[in-house]
Amino acid sequence: MTDFIHCFEPATSAGSPPLLLLHGTGGDENDLLGLGQMVSPGSALLSPRGRVLEHGMPRFFRRLAEGVFDEDDVRRRALELGDFIAEARKQYGIAAPIAVGFSNGANIAAALLLLKPDALAGAILLRAMVPLSDPPKAALGAKPVLLLSGQADPIVPASNSARLAALLSAADASVVHKVLPTGHQLSQADVTLARDWIGNVAAEVA
């Protein structure tokens, strides 16, 4: 399937939405499996490995410097990821997933929401940045998005995450944005908030 190395864990609970797990720089397809199991026990987990290498570390798209993205590559890679999701849905018989992305994975998930909205049912964006300086006009139809930022994040300025929340809200996503007293790394608060949020989303869909 479009050459993405990936893992798939089938659902063990019929009422849990499938998750698309998108790792950060240097991660792989195993990185977020534990997080996925914690935030939505029983969900099917689809976890691809990024196909771009930066000094040997997998990523989902190229960057020119920290916080400076190769936006042509962002667009191309987001569409490739969208094709992978469509093929995986057919192969594994799953609904459109909710993305759970960390850092680089959160950024590609945000790009996917803007470029190919139908690929995802929603997203949990952990330490995400605005992925495109000139995004297309997207219509997200009240898709649920949870954006969790770190107050002391040295990589993502507070103004950037606030801009991303505004951008997604303007595209008609139903955005919850919380700023946590932490840095770029994930905390127990991320897990708890994500789990509660997914529970509410699943209850609304049921």
What is the tens place of the pLDDT at every residue in 12-69?
998 899 999 999 999 999 999 999 999 999 999 999 999 999 999 999 999 998 889 9
Catalytic residues: 103, 153, 184
Find the Cα–Cα–Cα–Cα dihedral 157, 160, 166, 168, rounded to 10°: -110
Instruction: Give pLDDT, residue 125.
Output: 98
Domains in the chain (CATH in brackets) are 6-205 (3.40.50.1820)
Write the single-letter amino acid at 36: G
> Of 103, 99, 59, 64, nearest to 77 (Cα)?
59
pTM higher than the cut 0.85? yes
Q: Rg for the chain (alpha carbons), in Å? A: 15
Q: Is the dihedral of CA 199, 16, 119, 179 positive or negative?
A: positive
Q: CB under 8 Å to 23, separation ≥6 — which residues?
A: 29, 31, 32, 47, 49, 50, 58, 102, 104, 105
Instruction: Show the CA angle centred on residue 5, arms to residues 40 and 91, nearest 5°.
Output: 65
Q: Give the residue from 55, 60, 79, 52 showing the smallest Cα distance to 21.
A: 60
Query: Which of the four pLDDT bands, split at 50, 70 and 90, describes residue 205?
Result: low
Provide the pLDDT for residue 3: 81
Paired strand residues for 101: 22, 125
pLDDT value at 161 more than 80: yes
- CA dist., res. 59 & res. 52, Å (int): 5
Sign of torsion over alpha carbons 2, 67, 46, 165: negative
For residue 172, the model assigns a pLDDT of: 96
